Structure 1
Amino acid sequence: MSTPVRDTGPAAYRDGTGTFHPDHRRIVDGRHVDDERRITVDACVIGTGAGGAPVAKELAEGGMSVAMLEEGIWHETSEFTARPRDMMPRLYRDAGQTVTAGNPPIVLPLGRAVGGTTLINMATCFRTPERVLRRWQREFGLDGLGAPDLEPYFRRVEREINVVQVPPDIAGENARIVERGTRALGYRGDYLFRAVRGCVGSGVCAFGCPSGAKQHTAITWVPRAWAAGATTYTAATATRIIVQHGKVREVIARTAGGGTLRIRCRHAIVSAGALLTPVLLQRLGLGTRSGQLGRNLSIHPASAARALFDEPVDAWKGVPQSFYVDELADDGIILEGIAGPPDQAAMSTPGSGEAHRDLMLRIRETASFGVMVSDTGRGRVHTVLGRPHIRYDLHRDDAERFRRGFELLAEIFFAAGAREVHVPLAGVGPMRDGDLGPLQERAGRIRPRHVSAMAFHPLGTARMGADPATSVVDGDLAVHGVDGLHVCDGSVVPSSLGVNPQMTIMTLAVRLAYHLLGAPAPTHEPAPARIA
Structure 2
Amino acid sequence: MDAAASRIWDVIVIGTGIGGGTVGRRLAESGLSVLFVEKGPDLGDQFSDGLPSGIDPPEERLAQGIWPQRIRAELDGTWCELDGMIAAGVGGTSLFYAATLERPERHDLDQTDSHPHPTGGWPVGYDQMAPYYALAEHYFSISGEPDPLDPSAPALPGPARALPQSDAALMEDLRRAGMHPYQTHMAARFLPDCANCFGRRCGRRCKMDGRSAGVLPALDTGRAALIDRCTVLRIDAGPDRVTGITCQRDGKQIQLHARHYVLSGGGLGSPSLLLRSTSEDWPNGLGNRNDLVGRNLMFHLSEIMAVWAGRGAAREGASRSISMRDLYYQQGHRFGTVQSMGLVAGYGEILHAMNTRFDRSALRSLRPLRHALRIPAMVGAKVLGNAKVFVGVLEDLPYLTNRVLPGDDVDRLSFHYDVADELLTRRAAFRKAMRAAFRPHRAMFMGSAPELNFAHPCGTLRFGTDPATSVLDPDCRVHGVENLHVADSSFMPTSCGVNPSLTIAANALRVADRIAARTRAPLAAGDGLGY
Question: Is 1:74 paired with 2:42?
Answer: yes
Deviation at 1:106, TM superposition (A): 9.9
Shift of 1:411: 3.8
- Aligned mates of 1:305, 1:335 — CA distance in 2: 10
Equivalent position of 2:340 in the other structure: 337
Tell me, in whole angstroms, the C-alpha distance in 2 between the residues paired with 1:489 and 1:344: 39
1: distance between equivalents of 2:403 and 2:53? 32
Contact 2:103/2:133, CA 8 A, preserved across alignment: yes
CA distance 1:46–1:360, change in 2 (3 Å): farther
Structure 1 residues 412 and 288 mapped into 2: Cα distance closer, same or farther (>3 Å)?
same
Residue 222 of structure 1: aligned partner:
215
Letter in 2 for 1:509: A
Distance (Å, rounded) in 2 between the aligned partners of 1:243 and 1:310: 61
- 1:400 and 1:292 mapped to 2: Cα distance? 27
Over the matched positions of the two proteins, sequence identity in percent amounts to 24
Question: Which aligned pairs between 1:394-413 and structure 2 lie closer than 5 A?
Answer: 394-413=419-438
Superposed CA offset, 1:432-460 (max 9, x none): xxxxxxxxxxxxxxxxxx33454442211
- Measured after TM superposition, the shift of residue 295 of structure 1 is 0.5
Superposition pairs for residues 80-159 of structure 1, below 5 Å? Answer: 80-82=47-49, 90-93=64-67, 98=71, 100-103=73-76, 109-135=85-111, 143=123, 145-159=124-138
Deviation at residue 495 of structure 1 after TM alignment = 1.2
Gaps of 5+ in 1: 1-27, 427-449, 527-532
Q: 1:5-404 alignment to 2 at 5 Å?
A: 37-77=5-45, 79-82=46-49, 90-93=64-67, 98=71, 100-103=73-76, 109-135=85-111, 143=123, 145-165=124-144, 170-172=162-164, 175-176=167-168, 178-198=170-190, 202-228=195-221, 229-255=223-249, 257-284=250-277, 285-308=285-308, 311-314=311-314, 317-320=317-320, 322-330=321-329, 331-333=333-335, 334-340=337-343, 349-352=352-355, 353=371, 355=373, 359=377, 362=381, 365-376=386-397, 378=399, 379-384=402-407, 386=409, 387-404=412-429
Distance in 1 (CA, whole Å) between partners of 2:120 and 2:439 is 43
Letter in 2 for 1:264: H
Q: TM-score, normalised by structure 2?
A: 0.77
CA distance in 2, matches of 1:485, 1:125: 27
Secondary structure, counterpart of 2:21 in structure 1: helix
- Give 2:444's aligned amino acid: H
- Is the CA contact 2:301–2:393 (under 8 Å) kept in the aligned structure 1? yes
Q: 1:372 to 1:142 in 2, by over 3 A?
A: closer
Task: After superposition, give the CA deviation of every residue in 1:277-325 in whole Å (9 maximum; x if it has no partner).
Answer: 11110111101012111101111111312244651423983543x2112
Three-state SS of the structure 2 residue aligned to 1:51 is helix
SS of corresponding position for 1:297: coil
| Structure 1 residue 523: Cα displacement | 4.8
Query: How many angstroms apart in 1 are the aligned matches of 2:316 and 2:272?
Result: 37
Helix, strand or coil for the counterpart of 2:299?
Answer: strand
Q: Which amino acid aligns with 1:381?
A: V
Q: What is the RMSD of the two structures over their aligned residues, measured on CA atoms?
A: 3.5
Which deviates further from its counterpart, 192-201 or 334-343? 334-343
Query: Is residue 37–residue 261 contact of structure 1 (8 Å, CA) maintained in 2?
Result: yes
TM-score by length of 1: 0.77
Task: Tell me if the contact between 1:67 and 1:230 (Cα under 8 Å) persists in the aligned partners.
Answer: yes
Contact 1:267 1:484 in 2 (8 A): yes
1:357, 1:209 → 2: CA distance?
38
1:494-505 equivalence runs, <5 A: 494-505=493-504
How far, CA to CA, are the matches of 1:170 and 1:375 in structure 2?
33
Matched residues in 1 for 2:424 and 2:30: separation?
Answer: 47
Change (3 A) 1:514 1:407: same
User: 1: distance between equivalents of 2:209 and 2:130?
Assistant: 21
Q: For 1:457 and 1:262, locate their aligned partners in 2 and report how far apart those are by CA, in whole Å.
A: 31
Stretches of structure 2 lacking an aligned partner (at least 5 in a row): 56-60, 146-158, 278-284, 356-370
Question: For the structure 1 residues 168 and 197, does the alpha-carbon distance in structure 2 shift closer, same or farther, using more than 3 Å as the test?
Answer: closer
